[in-house]
Homo-oligomer: A and B are copies of this chain.
Amino acid sequence: MLSKKTKYAFHALTYLGKHRDQKTVLIQDISEEYGISHKFLENILLELKKAGILGSKKGKGGGYYLIKEPKDVPLSKVIRLLDGPIALLPCVSLNYYEPCVECKSEVKCGLNKVMIQVRDEMLNVLENKSLADILDKE
């Protein structure tokens, strides 16, 4: 399951995507819409900004806005950013690889091989679905 952080990130991105006509959106608007703590959401939006998905403007009249096209924000990017690895095991993660301590030989490990296949099929879905797909269905 996704963490709340990631789920909230998707909510926020959806809201920002739906309000692309306006220059900026307040944290507060989003936090009220979904009943998310303002401060918790703030941290999430900051991470999305650092990742280059959102832009922001300080001061009066400021707020956040989408910097990317919704189609250029794949689900995989958001999940990796807030939740970490998509792979089911550390030993098959592309972005967060770590060997399994209990594993004598990755090459001989059937679990490793199967999980590589699972990872690739999951990635195929998560890299090809994007914020645009969410917005299309709202």
Q: Is the pair B137, A126 in contact by a Cβ cutoff of 8 Å?
A: no
Alpha-carbon distance between A113 and B35 when the two chains are bound, in angstroms: 21
What interface size band does chain A fall in?
Answer: 35 or more
Q: Does A111 contact B (CB under 8 A)?
A: yes
Q: Does A102 contact B (CB under 8 A)?
A: yes
Contacts of A108 in B (CB 8 A): 138
Q: How many copies does the complex hold?
A: 2
Q: Is the pair A1, B102 in contact by a Cβ cutoff of 8 Å?
A: no
Q: Which of B2, B35, B111, B126 contacts A11, CB < 8 Å?
A: B111
Q: Is the pair B2, A89 in contact by a Cβ cutoff of 8 Å?
A: yes
B-contacting residues, A78-112, CB 8 Å: 84-85, 87-90, 93, 100-102, 108-111
